[in-house]
Amino acid sequence: MKPIKKLNCPLFLGCLFLLILYFNIAFCMDVQYYGSFVVRFVENKFRKDNPLNPDFKVFDLPERESKIYLNLFMNLYFNENFGFTLKTRPTWIKKGNKEMGKNYLDNAYLNFNLGKGLFLSMGKENLIRGVGFSYYPSDFFSEKKEIDFTLKEEEQRSDREGNYIIRSELLLENVTLTTVIAPEIDNLQEENTRAEFKFSTLLYDTDLSISYFHSNYGRIGFNISRVVGQKFEVHSGLGVRFDSDRKYLRKKGEIGLPGSGIFEYEIYEPEDEEKVFLRGLIGGHYTSVNKTNYIVEYFYNQDGYDGNEWKEFFTIIKDNNNKLMSPPNGFSEDLFKFNLSLANSLMTYRYLRRHYLFVRVWNPEIYNKFGVTCGILLNLEDKSFVILPTVDYKLIRDFMMLRFGAAVFKGDGESEFGLSPMKNYYYFETRIFF
């Protein structure tokens, strides 16, 4: 996580409460709000002999983390045609001996009903695109957003910061036309100006959407979903990309005398301007009579490493790991630490390879007290995987919940999840709803 600024959480919450009270009394506005207060403790377990971080020489990771945050959603209605939406997460974090605070602003935008089915919004908004649970091939606005993968799948996309946008929606009979502009703003939104045009419709009881997104290169998104009967749903999403975000390691230059075999590496992006890259998902979910929900999804990522590219990448890691643990004469550890730090920066878990399978079983109502989830994310190429169990205990229904969760990474030392410096983590949290 990037360093974040200090935040006086009590002061922020007090000001927010006074603001709600002021608007409600002074303008006789309709104010709707709900949310949760969360206290979370995390215990991390790391692999000491990990090739990316042998004996923790490359970087040090905290074994314990604490997080306290408020997750607040609020709607202010000035009148039937004008409103304001807010979703904010003032957060205090402690990692090891470091304490940090920040307010994550997911949504803060004005809504206008211009009549005849035309709506306009302006401000910061977390746009959610796609029909998948585990992957979102057409969720282009979120590609560089920080996502907390320790959350349940439904929460990963709702609890993330939005973009500063201008969005218009035109509602016609069975058709919605959407235009979104996210401009580049100095010191506020540094991505290139982005634009999206989306067509959505309901056709023969099937939800269908097609979108075109443009930034530094173009992308096309397709999404389709259909409910079959009352218990079964199928969905598919496709992202067509006219360039790639792939990054590789390559030798920058030989260090020392010619023929030393010692190299400094650099990150480079291959030129793929004339090639089309696909990200696709297909899946479905079924809900049984006892409310148990089963989800199965397959994800294809053409941007990921193929077998030869992965083998070459791992060879670089292994070579620098060996040299770090036993530096050649005349060379310090710093060069090999640097090379391994570059390799670590490319470890975009869940997107490193090309073929993945996600399976989840969830029952939210066991004895009216427990909610149990067990998910698994499997890399189909190297057979490494992550097990994701979660147990919720409803201490006071609709008011207080206790949650225990974990992630267990499994695989051999040359696989994606086996190569992760993280061996497993466990967390416990208390949630109070309002």
Whether 357 is covered by a domain: the verdict is yes
Whether 2 is covered by a domain: the verdict is no
How many domains are contained in the chain? Answer: 1
Question: Can you say whether the dihedral through the CA atoms of 339, 345, 347, 353 is positive or negative?
Answer: negative
CATH number, residue 159: 2.40.160.10
**pLDDT value at residue 292:** 97
Longest dimension (CA), the chain: 79
pTM assigned to the model: 0.89
Whether 1 is covered by a domain: the verdict is no
Whether 95 is covered by a domain: the verdict is yes
| Helical packing angle, 334-345 and 307-325, nearest 10° | 150
**pLDDT value at residue 10:** 54
**pLDDT value at residue 258:** 85
DSSP 217-279: SEEEEEEEEEEETTTEEEEEEEEEESS----EEEEEEE-SSTT---EEEEEE----TT--EEE
**pLDDT value at residue 270:** 86
**pLDDT value at residue 246:** 87
Contacts of 181 (CB under 8 A, 6+ apart): 165, 166, 167, 193, 194, 195
| Structural domain boundaries, residue 93 | 9-433
| pLDDT beneath 50: ranges in the chain | 1-7
Whether 107 is covered by a domain: the verdict is yes
What are the beta bridge partners of residue 45?
424
Whether 189 is covered by a domain: the verdict is yes
Structure tokens at 350: 């869940």
Structure tokens at 396: 């006071």
Instruction: Please give the C-alpha separations between residue 81 and each of 113, 115, 268, 285, in angstroms, as whole numbers.
Output: 5, 8, 50, 37
Whether 365 is covered by a domain: the verdict is yes
**pLDDT value at residue 263:** 94
Nearest to 75 by CA among 121, 128, 15: 121
Whether 316 is covered by a domain: the verdict is yes
**pLDDT value at residue 12:** 55
Structure tokens at 419: 């190569």
